[in-house]
Amino acid sequence: MLSSLLSKLAVIIVVALVIHMTGAVYGSSAASDQLALLEIKSKITLDPKGALTSWNDSLPFCQWRGVACGRRHRRVTMLDLQDLGLVGSLSPYIGNMSFLSYINLGSNQLHGSIPPEIGHLYRLRSVYLFNNSFTGEIPANMFSCSKLSFIKLQYNKLSGKIPNAFSSKSMITVLHLHTNHLTGGIPPSIGNLTSLEELSLAYNQLEGSIPDSFNQLKNLRKIGVGANGLVGAFPSFMFNLSMLEILSFSENQLQGSLPSNLCLSQPHLTWIGFGSNHFNGFLPPSISNCSELEVLALPNNYLKGEIAVDFGRLQHLNRLSLAGNKFGSKDRDDMNFFSSLSNCSNLEILDLFRNQLGGVLPNSLGNFSSKLSYLALDSNHLSGSIPSSIGNLLGITTFFSSANNFTGLIPESIGKLQNLQILYLDNNHFSGVIPRSIGNLSLLTKVVLAGNGLEGSIPSTIKSWKQVIALDLHGNKLSGSVPKELFQLTSLSIALDLSQNNLSGVLPQEISNLKLLGTLDFSMNRFTCELPSSLSSCTSLENLNLSSNLFYGSMPESFISLKALEYVDLSRNNFSGHISMYLQQIPLKQLNVGP
C-alpha cells in the first residue's frame, strides 16, 4: 500500500513538473522575444523619427511600433521597420524570435553583416533588407528556411559569392540581389527554384556563363542580370520560357542572336534588354507580336540589316533603343519602318544613334507621340531636310541629329518646341540663317549647331536662354558682330565656341558677365579691337582661344586675375608689347602667342 501511495505521488510530482516546465517554456519564449527586440534596439545608434521610443515597459511588446504578434501564442510574427532612417547594425538575437515570418528593415542605414542566425527562423517567409549598407557574405543557411518565399537584399554592399545552396524543396519566388558587390559565377542550384518568378542579379561583378539549369525555371516572369561580366553564348532555351515578362541582360559580354520567332512563344514580354553585348544577326519582324512590349533596348551590339518591324502594333512601346549597331545600308529605303512608330502613342524615347540608316525623315515625324521626349538620330546617313512637322513634338526635351547629311534650312517651327533643353544639329549641311524663333526655347541648356553652312548674324532673340550652359556655333559662315545679348547669358559655364566663322566687330565690356565660363573660343574670325579689360572678370576661364583674328594693342595687366587659365592661344593677331609677361605668374599648361 505504501508503494502504491509512493507511485501515485511520483506521478503527481511528474505531472506537476511537466506543468511547471511547460509554463516556464511558454513564459521564457515570450520573454525571449521581448529580450530579442530590446537587443535589436540596443544596436540602433540613431533613430531620427523616434520609431523605437515605444519599445519600453510602458506597453506590451506586441504593441510596440513595427511589431506584430500572433493571436494564439502572442509571439512576434512580423517586424516591419522600413524607411525609418535607422542607423546601426542588426543584432544576432533576431534569430531567437522563432515565430517570426516577416522581416522588413528596408530603406534604412543599417551596416555590418547579415546575422547567420536568421537561418534559424524556420517559419520565415519574407526577408526585406534592401537599400541599406550591409556588408560581408550572404549567409548560406538563410536559404535553408524551407518556407522562405521573398528575399530582397538589393542596394547593399554585400560581397563574396552567392551561396550555391538552393534546394529543390525551396519555395523562393522572388530573389533580388542586385546592386551589390557579389562575385563569382551564378550558382547552378538557382535552377532548383522551380517556383521562382523574379530573379534580379544586376549590377554586381558576376562572371561565367548562364547556367543550363535555368531551363527549369518555367515560372520565371522577370529576370535581370545586367551590368555584370557574363560571357559565352546566350542560351536559346531562355527564349522558350513562356511566362517571361522582363528579359534583361544588358552590359555583359554575351554572344548570340535573336531568334526569328521571338515573341511568338513569349507573348507577355514587356522588356527586352540586351544592350552592350556581342549579339549579331537581324532584328526579327516577329517582335511585332509582343503586343505588351514597353521597352526594346538593344544598343551597342553588332545587329545589322533592315529594320522590318511593324512597330505600329506595339501600342505600349515606351522606349526603343537600337543605337550603336549596323542597321541599314545607307539606302533611301532604310527609314521605311519609321512611320509605323507614329502609332506608338506611349513612345517617350527613340534612340537610333550611330547606325547606317539612309533616306529621309518622313513628315509623319510630326504625328509621333506627344509624350516623345528623347529623339536621337545622330551619326547616320540621313539626308534631305528636317520636316517642319517637327514643331508638333511639343513634349520633346532632347533632339540629337548630328553627323548626318541633312540639308536646307533649320525649320522655323523648331521654335514651337517649348520644352526643348538639348539641341544638337552639328556636322550636317544646313544653310541659311539661324531662325529667330530659336529664341523661344527658353529652357535650352546645350545648343550645338557647329559644322554647317549657316549664314547671317547670331539672332538677338537668344537673350531668353537663361539656362544655357554650352553654345557651339563654330565652323559656319556667320557674319556681323556678336549681339550684346549673347554676353547676357550668365548661365554659360561649359563653353562658348564661335570659332571658324566670319564674325567681326568688337568684344563689348559686357563680356564680364560670363563669370562661370570655362572655355571661350573666338578663333579664326575677323574681330578688330583691343581686348576689353572686363575679360579679367571671367575668373572661371580655363581655355581661352582668340587666335587668328585682328586683335591689337597690349594684353591688359588685369588678366593676372585669371588664375584658372590652363590653355591660352593668342597667336596670329596684331598684339603689341610683351604679352607673355602678364601671364608668367599663372601656371599655364600651354601658351601660344606666336605671330
The predicted-structure confidence for 441-493, as pLDDT tens digits, reads as follows: 999 999 999 999 999 999 999 999 999 999 999 999 999 999 999 999 999 99
The position carrying cell 515597459 is 57
Grouping H, G, I as helix, E, B as strand and the rest as coil, residue 325 is coil
Question: Residue 85: inside a domain, yes or no?
Answer: yes
491/470 Cα distance (integer angstroms): 9
User: What pLDDT sits at residue 575?
Assistant: 85
Average pLDDT across the chain, whole number: 92
- Is the model more confident about 145 or about 358? 358
What whole-number distance in Å separates Cα of residue 457 and Cα of residue 219? 64
With cut-offs at 50, 70 and 90, classify the pLDDT of residue 3.
very low
Domain that holds residue 136: 36-161
Give, as one character, the DSSP assignment of residue 530.
B
pLDDT of 79 higher than 90: yes
pLDDT at 9 over 80: no
* pLDDT tier, 4 (very low <50, low <70, confident <90, very high otherwise): very low
pLDDT of 11 higher than 50:
no
Residue 20 lies in a domain: no
In the predicted structure, residue 301 carries a pLDDT above the cut 70: yes
pLDDT of res. 415:
96
Question: Which pLDDT score, from 0 to 100, does residue 228 have?
Answer: 98
Helix (H, G, I), strand (E, B) or coil at 386: coil
* Integer Cα distance of 191 and 235 in angstroms: 14
pLDDT of residue 265: 87
Please indicate whether residue 170 or residue 155 has the higher confidence score (pLDDT). 155
Tell me the C-alpha distance between 520 and 569, whole Å: 11
Query: What would the grid cell of residue 417 be?
Result: 518646341
Q: What angle do CA 202, 203, 205 make, to 5 degrees?
A: 105
Distance CA 476, CA 484 (A): 20
The stretch 12-38 carries a mean pLDDT of 55
Task: Look at residue 585 and give its three-state secondary structure.
Answer: coil
Distance, in Å, from the CA atom of 353 to the CA atom of 472, rounded to the nearest integer, reads 20
| pLDDT of 62 higher than 70 | yes
Give the Cα separation of 468 and 511 in Å (integer): 16
Judge whether 127 lies within some domain: yes
Is the predicted pLDDT of residue 28 greater than 50, yes or no? no
Helix (H, G, I), strand (E, B) or coil at 136: strand
Q: What is the pLDDT of residue 576?
A: 82
- Round the CA-based radius of gyration of the chain to a whole number and report it: 34
- Determine what percent of the chain is predicted with pLDDT higher than 70: 94
Could you tell me the three cell numbers for 385?
A: 531636310
pLDDT at 64: 96
From residue 324, alpha-carbon distances to 85, 229, 321 in Å are 42, 20, 9
Is 169 within the bounds of a domain? no
- As for how many domains the chain has, the answer is 1
Place of cell 550611330: 354
**pLDDT for the residue numbered 94:** 96
**Residue 5: is its pLDDT beyond 50?**
no
Separation CA 369–CA 374 (nearest Å): 11
- Does 480 reside within a domain? no
Nearby residues of 27 by Cβ (< 8 Å), 6 or more positions away? none
CATH number of the structural domain spanning residue 121: 3.80.10.10
- For residues 581-590, one letter each, b for 16 or more C-beta atoms within 10 angstroms of the residue's C-beta and e for the rest, the string is ebbeebeeee
From 529, 486, 482, select the one nearest 503 (Cα to Cα). Answer: 482
Structural domain includes residue 70: yes
| Three-state SS sequence of 167-217 | CCCCCCCEEECCCCEEEEECCHHHHHCCCCCEEECCCCEEEECCCHHHHHC
Tell me the pLDDT band of 10, cut-offs 50, 70 and 90.
Answer: very low
For the record, the C-alpha cell of 257 comes out as 542572336
- 214 in a structural domain: no
User: Is the pLDDT at 349 greater than 70, yes or no?
Assistant: yes
Cα 591 from Cα 199, distance rounded (Å):
57
pLDDT of residue 46: 97
Q: Where are the beta strands (DSSP E) in 511-588?
A: 519-521, 526-527, 543-545, 552-553, 567-569, 574-575
Q: Which residue, chain included where needed, has cell 509605323?
A: 340
Q: Sign of the CA dihedral 276, 280, 282, 284?
A: negative
In this structure, the strands spanning 398-400 and 446-448 are unpaired
Q: Among 55, 149, 158, 48, which residue's Cα sits nearest to residue 112?
A: 158
Identify whether 275 is part of a domain. Answer: no
